[in-house]
Amino acid sequence: MTAPAAGPVIAGAPGPGALTLGRWAAETLGVRLLVAVVHPAPAALGSGRVDAEWVADRHRAAERILDEARKALEGADADYRAVASSSAAHGLHDLAEETGASLIVVGSGRDGPRERLYPGSTADRLLAGSVCPVAVAPAELATPPGTLGVIGVAYVDTPDGRAALAEAAKMAGRTGARLRLYTVVAQGDASLPFLIGQDAERAFLETARETYERSLEAAAASVPQCDTDWRIVPGDVVDTLAELDEVDVLFCGSRGYGPARRVLLGGVSARLIRRARRPVIVVPRSG
């Protein structure tokens, strides 16, 4: 394995899904895995001894969680760290900036269906401004990543889409997995205003499909190091992408505006991470 070219993969708020995905991502990218548990820091206006005792108790609880992670990851090349912060998301943000993290992996929220993504408040806050890609994993991965041999990309020809493609190509190139690009187009008159006319609508959809085909062909050609194919799928974009079960992970961009090099969820990615069957990796724009 080549020497690490970037910072670690951080598995935060670890559960079985996050640990499994984090370990696979770290091994795939050739970087170390850093398992982190964030616990409360002393309050600036705390109540003295009571506050200190409570913080110490939370620190011990974090260490117990890390011990459980060590057992689950026996044999993994990993570091473990308890981080004190005002919130889990803030602590993971700071840790990512400190270490130059390649990826942050978090698990789904406790209230979510076991086989679906449903990020809790930590994931929601983390996704609103991370400096590196963020992966959200189901609580339990019925099919471990790396089993299916396909890395998916929700692709549109925008800076966000190209950033997602670049990150997905790195992972596909290292695993030898097929890289598959998906563009979802609306069906029927969902694309056009009411009463536009069926002939005009059909002509519009045919022109749109030709445009998508050209952009997908160009995108596939831009990553010659990967075995790449693409698909244009009719339907609702969130519903269609959420139901994909043929990919190890699905990469998507964050949004078309906002600060560069930060994850800021747009409408599609925000809904997708709550409903997708497979792990989703949200990628910030590169610049």
Give the phi and the psi of residue 62 in degrees, each rounded to 5.
Answer: -65, -40
C-alpha–C-alpha distance, residues 153 and 183, integer Å: 9
| DSSP structural state of residue 34 | E
Residue-range domain boundaries for the chain? 1-142, 148-276
Which tokens in the block code for residue 29? 């990218």
Q: What is the 8-class DSSP label of residue 261?
A: T
pLDDT band at 6 (very low <50, low <70, confident <90, very high): confident
What superfamily would CATH give domain 1-142?
HUPs (3.40.50.620)
Residue type, 53: E
- Mean pLDDT score, 160-166: 91
DSSP code string of 121-137: HHHHHHHTT-SS-EEEE
| Mean pLDDT, rounded, for 12-26 | 88
Q: Do domains 1-142 and 148-276 have the same CATH topology?
A: yes
Residue 191 is classified by DSSP as: G
Greater pLDDT, 140 or 280: 280
Strands 103-107 and 78-85: unpaired
Phi, psi of 188 (to 5 degrees): 55, -145
Query: Which pLDDT score, from 0 to 100, does residue 187 have?
Result: 64
Of residues 184 and 138, more confidently modeled = 184
Q: Is the pLDDT of residue 280 over 70?
A: yes
User: What is the CATH number assigned to the segment(s) 148-276?
Assistant: 3.40.50.620
Mean per-residue pLDDT of the chain: 80
Choose among 39, 42, 61: nearest CA to 52.
Answer: 42
Query: pTM for the full model?
Result: 0.82
8 Å CB contact between 266 and 154: no
Residue 114 is encoded by which pair of tokens?
Answer: 């076991």
State how far the Cα of 236 lies from the Cα of 212, in Å rounded to an integer.
Answer: 16
